[in-house]
């Protein structure tokens, strides 16, 4: 049975937004935020080690951002990981009208609400993280009926599913992680949108379609920088890119690069330490 690394991280003071931003720089599969700790999950073959995490936390002590920390590493079987994940899942109100529920929680929607059912497993995109909420907020403003969507680094497929439920005609969801591919396929079926969403295991360079009305990318900063040219090529003129997963301090790095390809910043949303931006191809 496949196994996963689990790291339980505590700091004093506990700064979850700062810690999450730093940890997503590593080769990880997910982060679960508890009341006073973060639980980080990574594939058993991931390059992430306890020593690497402790090295980063030691730098935070040197910067006087935290006073102390502890890191506990464990190796879990897949079944145990999912059981632990499910114990902490709740119904999430991601925006004023978008509600995300796991398969094992019931929810009666109010008039006008969009309910998305997500079985997250190891994929990123449960709706809890600030970056997902920010992406959804901007999508509510910029998705138009009939839009053609590209979702890069799709994870659970939450953004593609939301886009279709908001009125998009179709979406292509691409992720290079086999687990995410499988999970996205499952979640599209759960939400009865499989016919409108094409799920691809790969990267943006593997997508042959062009002239997308909107490109979504809720991924780590360095990947956003690496794919900037590809995102621009995939957009039709006057098409939008919604980028999330950006720490506030990295805004200029991302926005200036995308602007250099011929995009214009339309607006941004912030939540805690996190930022999402909407740009238009000009």
Distances (CA, A) of 147 to 19, 46, 122, 166: 36, 37, 29, 10
CA distance 180 to 135: 19
Evaluate if residue 84 carries a pLDDT over 70: no
The answer to whether residues 161 and 242 belong to one domain is: yes
Mark which of 86, 106, 140 sits at the end of a domain.
Answer: 86
CA distance 252 to 86: 37
In-domain check, residue 118: no
Q: What is the count of structural domains for the chain?
A: 2
pLDDT tens digits, residue range 88-106?
667 889 899 999 998 878 8
The answer to whether residues 132 and 66 belong to one domain is: no
Strands 38-43, 92-93: pairing kind: unpaired
pLDDT at 120: 64
The answer to whether residues 137 and 217 belong to one domain is: yes
CA distance 154 to 228: 16
CA distance 154 to 199: 9
- CATH number at 268 reads 3.40.50.150
Mean pLDDT of the chain: 90
Distances (CA, A) of 219 to 86, 131, 164, 222, 225: 23, 9, 20, 9, 10
pTM of the model: 0.76
Q: Report the percent of the chain where pLDDT is more than 70.
A: 93
The answer to whether residues 79 and 154 belong to one domain is: no
Residue 250 forms beta bridges with which residues?
none
Evaluate if residue 115 carries a pLDDT over 60: yes
pLDDT tens digits, residue range 225-266?
999 999 999 999 999 999 999 989 999 999 999 999 999 999
CA distance 192 to 149: 17
135 contacts 216 by C-beta, under 8 angstroms = yes
The answer to whether residues 260 and 166 belong to one domain is: yes
pLDDT at 83: 62
pLDDT at 99: 93
Mark which of 36, 54, 86 sits at the end of a domain.
Answer: 86
In-domain check, residue 105: no
Helices assigned H by DSSP within the chain: 16-23, 50-62, 78-88, 130-142, 158-165, 178-190, 221-226, 228-234, 251-260
Distances (CA, A) of 256 to 139, 227, 240, 259: 21, 14, 16, 5
CA distance 165 to 116: 9
Residue 147 forms beta bridges with which residues?
none
- If residue 205 lies in a helix (H) or strand (E), which one and from where to where? none
**Domain interval for residue 157:** 127-281
Q: How many CB atoms lie within 10 A of CB 51?
A: 9
- CATH number at 37 reads 3.30.70
CA dihedral of residues 59, 16, 268, 131 (deg, nearest 10): 110
Evaluate if residue 24 carries a pLDDT over 80: yes
């Amino acid at each position: 049975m496949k196994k996963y690394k689990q790291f339980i991280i505590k700091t004093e003071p506990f700064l979850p937004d700062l810690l999450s931003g730093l940890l997503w720089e590593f080769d990880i599969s997910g982060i679960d935020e508890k009341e006073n700790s973060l639980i980080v999950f990574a594939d058993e073959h991931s390059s992430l080690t306890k020593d690497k995490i402790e090295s980063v936390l030691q730098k935070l002590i040197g910067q006087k951002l935290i006073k102390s920390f502890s890191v506990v590493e464990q190796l879990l079987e897949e079944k145990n990981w999912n059981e632990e994940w499910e114990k902490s899942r709740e119904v999430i109100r991601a925006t004023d009208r978008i509600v995300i529920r796991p398969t094992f929680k019931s929810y009666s929607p109010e008039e006008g609400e969009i309910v998305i059912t997500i079985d997250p497993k190891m994929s990123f995109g449960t709706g809890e993280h600030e970056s997902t909420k920010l992406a959804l907020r901007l999508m509510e403003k910029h998705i138009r009926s009939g839009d053609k969507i590209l979702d890069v680094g799709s994870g659970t497929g939450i953004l593609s599913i939301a886009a279709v439920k908001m009125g998009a005609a179709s979406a292509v969801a691409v992720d290079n992680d086999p687990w995410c591919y499988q999970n996205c396929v499952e979640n599209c079926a759960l939400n009865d949108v499989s016919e409108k969403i094409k799920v691809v295991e790969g990267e943006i360079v593997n997508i042959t379609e062009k002239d997308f009305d909107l490109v979504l990318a809720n991924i780590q900063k360095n990947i956003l920088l690496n794919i900037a040219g590809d995102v621009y090529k995939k957009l039709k003129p006057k098409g939008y890119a919604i980028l999330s997963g950006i720490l506030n301090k990295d805004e200029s790095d991302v926005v200036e690069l995308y602007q250099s390809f011929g995009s214009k910043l339309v607006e941004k949303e912030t939540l805690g330490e996190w930022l999402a931006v909407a740009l238009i191809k000009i």
